[in-house]
């Protein structure tokens, strides 16, 4: 029996995260017997896609099992490190710190880490032990309780602290001198996107006090994938997200939808997050079709043909956006739009007026498709089912 959201006694702004976890996890939940039979108890969630041999030669991975003594909490991480880091010299490697969705692990989102590292960006994937893959393990009848614990406000705060601690450790470690601290980026999916927004400056109010101490000023840009708004505080969405002023890239799809008994969240919620974010430099990509979980390592979800195409477009647009933000280079994003326009429902590049990108796009690049338009998805032409609103073009 699935309990409706209205019956769950959770901090209001985390109900969305629990809904996302239920959507992604119930279909993958397995009995204890099934887990025993498998060396990897949840391969469907964490199994990495195949990496081409040529790409694998361009990076290495390192797992680290850190312990935050102050919080008595383990912080496991996986670092994807560019093979050409030595050639870049001191402070030559930009770093992305990644936060997984509820029920994930440091092994997840490997298609992003592998690609980014092969293109010169180190990627540190943090595992949040209070809301990681262990929520799926154990007695299935205890799943809702484990998800409730994972969505507690205390865990949301721990996740932010995990990210800060992991960043501290990698900067203090052997590779610290090679990392460019002017190019530190936070990225995350779903619950991880909420974590990134808090780390980037989102301000929630508790007992009359603004929790602004969560922001890490070292973070210079954010990649926000499938972000739920702070549920229960939707009337304060703009107030909560306006303090985020660093450049942000928002990624979603028209079928990035959560539906469980008593709860519904559609792609319009992701658009609302984009509109409310206070960044002067922000960009939005909405893919046509898909699903919420297609941004994980899971294959097939959102469409067997569409899934790998969206993964390719997602990992590429992130670096094209960062090239704009840090270097003022626009060619990569222009080429990205031309290459992937068949699967884009809506695209709003960063503002041409932004000072960080003085030469940005004199020709409009936004791709807008109204409901009923024909979209090439790799499975032939199909009617767009998009009913989502177009993002606001009002300057923040």
| Helices (runs of H) and strands (runs of E) counted in the chain | 13, 15
Helix (H) or strand (E) holding 283: strand 282-287
Q: 361 lies in a domain?
A: yes
Answer whether residue 388 is part of any domain: no
Is 392 part of a structural domain of the chain?
Answer: no
Inside any domain, residue 149: yes
pTM for the full model? Answer: 0.81
Rounded to whole angstroms, the Cα distance separating 27 from 385 reads: 24
Domain of residue 170 covers 5-383
- Tens place of pLDDT for every residue, the chain, 396 residues? 223 333 333 344 454 555 444 544 444 333 322 222 222 233 335 555 656 655 678 999 999 999 999 999 999 999 999 998 888 888 899 999 999 998 999 999 999 999 999 999 999 999 999 999 999 998 899 888 888 888 888 899 999 999 999 999 999 999 999 999 999 999 999 999 999 999 999 998 777 777 767 999 999 999 999 998 876 666 788 899 999 999 999 999 999 987 654 557 789 999 999 999 999 999 999 999 999 999 999 999 999 999 999 999 999 999 999 999 999 999 999 999 999 999 999 999 886 444 343 333 323 333 333 333 333 222 222 333 445 666 544 332
Taking the C-alpha atoms of residue 226 and residue 249, their distance in angstroms, rounded to an integer, is 11
Residue 134 domain flag: yes
Q: Who contacts 53 (Cβ-Cβ below 8 Å, separation ≥6)?
A: none
CATH number of domain containing 192: 3.40.50.1820
Whether 390 is covered by a domain: the verdict is: no
- How many separate domains does the chain show? 1
Cα atoms found within 13 Å of the Cα of residue 376, Cβ hemisphere only: 6
Is 306 a domain residue? Answer: yes
The helix (run of H) or strand (run of E) holding residue 308 is helix 306-327
Residue 282 within a domain: yes
């Amino acid at each position: 029996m699935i309990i409706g959201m209205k019956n769950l006694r959770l901090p209001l702004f985390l109900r969305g995260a629990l809904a996302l976890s239920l959507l992604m996890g119930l279909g993958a939940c397995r009995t204890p017997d099934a887990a025993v039979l498998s060396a990897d108890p949840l391969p469907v969630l964490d199994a990495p896609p195949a990496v081409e041999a040529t790409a694998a030669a361009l990076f290495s991975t390192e797992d680290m099992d850190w312990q935050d003594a102050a919080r008595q909490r383990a912080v496991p991480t996986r670092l994807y490190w560019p093979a050409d880091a030595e050639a870049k010299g001191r402070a030559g490697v930009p770093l992305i710190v990644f936060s997984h969705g509820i029920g994930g692990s440091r092994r997840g989102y490997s298609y992003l880490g592998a690609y980014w590292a092969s293109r010169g960006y180190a990627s540190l994937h943090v595992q949040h032990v209070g809301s990681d893959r262990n929520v799926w393990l154990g007695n299935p009848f205890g799943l809702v309780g484990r998800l409730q614990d994972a969505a507690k406000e205390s865990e949301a705060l721990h996740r932010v602290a995990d990210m800060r601690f992991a960043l501290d450790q990698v900067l203090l470690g052997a590779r610290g001198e090679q990392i460019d601290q002017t190019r530190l980026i936070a990225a995350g999916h779903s619950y991880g996107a909420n974590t990134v927004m808090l780390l980037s400056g989102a301000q929630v109010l508790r007992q009359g006090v603004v929790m602004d101490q969560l922001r890490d000023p070292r973070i210079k840009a954010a990649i926000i994938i499938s972000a739920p708004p702070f549920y229960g505080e939707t009337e304060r969405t703009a107030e909560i997200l306006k303090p985020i002023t660093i450049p942000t890239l928002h990624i979603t799809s028209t079928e990035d939808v959560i539906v469980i008994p008593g709860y519904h969240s559609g792609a319009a919620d992701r658009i609302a997050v984009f509109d409310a974010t206070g960044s002067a430099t922000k960009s939005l990509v909405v893919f046509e079709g898909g699903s919420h979980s297609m941004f994980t390592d899971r294959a097939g979800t959102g469409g067997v043909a569409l899934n790998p195409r969206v993964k390719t477009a997602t990992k590429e647009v992130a670096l094209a956006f960062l090239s704009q933000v840090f270097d003022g280079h626009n060619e990569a994003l222009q080429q990205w739009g031309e290459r992937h326009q068949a699967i884009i429902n809506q695209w709003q590049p960063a503002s041409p007026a932004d000072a960080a990108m003085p030469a940005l796009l004199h020709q409009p690049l936004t791709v807008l498709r109204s409901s009923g338009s024909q979209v090439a998805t790799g499975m032939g032409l199909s009617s767009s089912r998009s009913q989502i609103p177009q993002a606001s073009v009002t300057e923040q």
